[in-house]
Amino acid sequence: MLIRDEIDRDASAIRSVVTEAMKLLPQSSGAEADIVDRLRADNALSLSLVAEDGGEVVGYLAASDAQIGDVTGWGLIGPVAVLPSRHGEGIGSALIAEAILRLRAGYKEAALVGDPGYYGRFGFTAFPGLRLGDVPARFVQALPFDGSEPQGELIHHPAFGLEQKA
Ligand SMILES: CC(C)(COP(=O)(O)OP(=O)(O)OC[C@H]1O[C@@H](n2cnc3c(N)ncnc32)[C@H](O)[C@@H]1OP(=O)(O)O)[C@@H](O)C(=O)NCCC(=O)NCCS
């Protein structure tokens, strides 16, 4: 399996992987593939990683710029998706490990909104002052690379607003 940057011809395979994976999430808005397309159209994908196996896209991870409170320079990971038939093979972990490695090089910290049961293993954790609207605080997580404590509202690209309309 290979983790690599997205190339032009991946866009429709990425849509399929994201759509199929998100069907399993009860809280999914169904808009996640649209969010990726919108981020791409706005040139806002700071990371767009695919997991390729046997020539097929089996996993995907996006990251985009974010701000927490007054502090810019956060890399927001999401969505992360693995083809349901390939879950539990370490594909999601490989994508996240590569994303953390890349974000460490260019960002102060990484953040995401997701299940702490999964993302805790990569060092992500909730912080008392970190929030995102009415999302339960334990799902809003950060991995500060410099040991700082994120404080305030997580401000992300407007593409994520597509979720509210679905
Ligand atoms: C979450 C997801 C990306 C993980 O991908 P994956 O390739 O199956 O993950 P890995 O193989 O690296 O890790 C599997 C491990 O994570 C665990 N895991 C997966 N989702 C989990 C969750 N929501 N909470 C706790 N543990 C979880 C599995 O039980 C497994 O545990 P084990 O290592 O003890 O056996 C994938 O399950 C997926 O696409 N899910 C639907 C979309 C989604 O939830 N995206 C994340 C939010 S944007």
Domain boundaries, the chain: 2-165
Torsion angles phi and psi, residue 125, rounded to 5: -150, 155
Give the Å distance between the CA of 91 and the centre of ligand 1: 9
User: What fold characterizes domain 2-165?
Assistant: Aminopeptidase (3.40.630)
Complete DSSP assignment for the chain: -EEEE--GGGHHHHHHHHHHHHTT-TT--S-HHHHHHHHHHTT--SEEEEEEETTEEEEEEEEEEEEETTEEEEEEEEEEEE-GGGTTSSHHHHHHHHHHHHHHHH-SEEEEES-HHHHGGGT-B--TTEE-TTS-GGGEEEEETTS----EEEE--GGGGHHHH-
Give the Å distance between the CA of 31 and the centre of ligand 1: 20
For the chain, what percent of residues have pLDDT higher than 90?
Answer: 90
Per-residue pLDDT of 49-93, as tens digits, reads 999 999 999 999 999 999 999 999 999 999 999 999 999 999 999
Question: Does the pLDDT of residue 147 top 90, yes or no?
Answer: no
Give the Å distance between the CA of 70 and the centre of ligand 1: 32
Question: Among the atoms of ligand 1, which is closest to the Cα of residue 32?
Answer: 48
Question: In sequence order, which residues have a C-beta less than 8 Å from that of residue 67 and are 6 or more positions away?
Answer: 73, 74, 154, 155
Model-level pTM? 0.95
Give the Å distance between the CA of 43 and the centre of ligand 1: 28
Measured in whole angstroms, the distance separating CA 108 from the mean position of its chain's CA atoms is 16
Question: Does the pLDDT of residue 165 top 50, yes or no?
Answer: no
Q: Which residues line ligand 1 (CB under 6 A)?
A: 21-22, 24-25, 78-82, 87-93, 114-115, 117-118
Question: Among the atoms of ligand 1, which is closest to the Cα of residue 93?
Answer: 12
- Quote the pLDDT of residue 34: 97
